[in-house]
């Protein structure tokens, strides 16, 4: 008989694999740091014989160099994963076949997960990729149902200033109440909490510390035990190396988000996609050359090393 605290599934999200180191991480050790974290994920899955469920944003950008795809194929353990917005060309699910995420599907590293799957004895997992409505579970009675979703979810102490009220855990509870466990990706601050009386929400948080304000954060993977309890397994960051200098920007080089959204509205909505909006904003008067490069790099129209 298996112990009730035996891990039966492993949760992770927001890997944000990237060939270039983030601005404040040491470029000489960045790839090794990613490989080290992925090795922990792989050995943990092997230790418990448990499947890995990834709640999105495997890559930091949908369009990456073959070198990074090769790295992912070599170092990623096999897992069930849904795409986050960073995995999708211009955040469009219909364009996924153009992405590096899809390449990992074709390679067999990412296992088929477009519909509900049976993970083992009476355990079912249902995918909800970025932008998709929350589906009903495959079957409720006598089974543990897990929802894997890429959508922002927050609680007090685990959010950014001005986080949308509709994404607060109290508002999400009703939408995921048919599931025993709801695994979220997108919010980089990890937490887990009981939603209502029967549903556990696990927000996985980031897999790597990428920014200076994350330097003391503990990225983690999460273990679901047979009895429904959750264990947090922090990843070792003692070998992380950071650039000695701190990147700063002058205030005039930053985009005011309220103004950004107002300009998006002004462009209209009919027939205009995300890529077109970004192109239009990049070419507006008053946008600095640095911001223009960042915007065009975000939609894959310009290569940029920071």
* Residue 245: band (very low, low, confident or very high) from pLDDT cuts 50, 70, 90: low
**How large is the average pLDDT for residues 13-33?**
96
In the chain, CATH 3.60.21.10 covers 7-234
Q: Has residue 299 got a pLDDT over 70?
A: no
Q: Is the alpha carbon torsion for 20, 62, 209, 252 positive or negative?
A: positive
7-234 folds as Purple Acid Phosphatase; chain A, domain 2 (3.60.21)
**How large is the average pLDDT for residues 18-47?**
96
* Residue 251: band (very low, low, confident or very high) from pLDDT cuts 50, 70, 90: very low
Q: Has residue 272 got a pLDDT over 60?
A: no
Q: Has residue 304 got a pLDDT over 60?
A: no
Using CA atoms of 60, 65, 70, 71 in order, give the dihedral in degrees to the nearest 10: -40
Rounded to two decimals, what is the model's pTM?
0.81
Q: Has residue 305 got a pLDDT over 50?
A: no
For 86, counting Cβ atoms within 10 Å of its Cβ (0-12 exposed, 13-18 middle, 19+ buried), the class is buried
Q: Is 149 helix (H, G, I), strand (E, B) or coil?
A: strand
Q: What is the pLDDT of residue 300?
A: 64
Q: What is the pLDDT of residue 306?
A: 39
Residues in the chain: 306
Percent of residues in the chain assigned helix, strand, coil, to nearest 5: 30, 20, 50
Task: Return the closest-CA partner of residue 61 out of 305, 299, 292.
Answer: 299
Q: Has residue 246 got a pLDDT over 60?
A: no
Per-residue pLDDT of 50-63, as tens digits, reads: 999 999 999 999 99
* Residue 301: band (very low, low, confident or very high) from pLDDT cuts 50, 70, 90: low
Pairwise CA distance, residues 150 & 286, whole Å: 34
* Residue 2: band (very low, low, confident or very high) from pLDDT cuts 50, 70, 90: low
**How large is the average pLDDT for residues 113-132?**
92
52 with 45: CB under 8 angstroms? yes
Pairwise CA distance, residues 223 & 186, whole Å: 18
38 with 76: CB under 8 angstroms? yes
């Amino acid at each position: 008989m298996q112990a009730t605290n035996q891990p039966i599934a492993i949760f992770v999200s927001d890997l944000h694999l990237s060939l270039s180191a983030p601005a404040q991480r040491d470029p000489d050790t960045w790839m090794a740091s990613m490989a080290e974290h992925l090795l922990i994920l792989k050995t943990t899955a092997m230790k418990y014989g448990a499947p890995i469920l990834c709640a999105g944003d495997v890559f930091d950008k949908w369009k990456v160099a073959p070198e990074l795809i090769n790295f992912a194929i070599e170092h990623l353990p096999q897992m069930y994963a849904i795409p986050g917005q960073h995995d999708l060309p211009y955040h469009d699910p219909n364009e996924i076949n153009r992405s590096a995420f899809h390449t990992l599907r074709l390679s067999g590293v990412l296992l088929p997960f477009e519909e509900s799957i049976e993970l083992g004895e009476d355990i079912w997992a249902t995918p909800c990729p970025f932008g998709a409505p929350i589906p009903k579970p495959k079957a409720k009675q006598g089974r543990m149902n897990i929802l894997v979703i890429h959508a922002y979810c927050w609680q007090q102490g685990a959010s950014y200033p001005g986080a949308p009220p509709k994404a607060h855990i109290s508002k999400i509870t009703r939408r995921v109440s048919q599931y025993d466990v709801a695994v979220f990706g997108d919010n980089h601050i990890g937490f887990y909490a009981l939603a209502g009386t029967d549903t556990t929400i696990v927000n996985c948080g980031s897999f790597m510390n990428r920014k200076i304000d994350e330097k003391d954060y503990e990225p983690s993977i999460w273990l679901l035990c047979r009895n429904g309890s959750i264990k947090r397994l922090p990843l070792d960051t003692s070998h992380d190396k950071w650039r000695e200098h701190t990147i700063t920007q002058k205030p005039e080089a930053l985009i005011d988000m309220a103004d950004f959204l107002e300009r998006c509205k002004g462009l209209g909505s009919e027939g205009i996609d995300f890529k077109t909006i970004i192109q239009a904003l990049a070419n507006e008067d008053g946008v600095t050359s640095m911001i223009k490069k960042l915007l065009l790099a975000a939609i894959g129209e310009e290569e940029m090393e920071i």
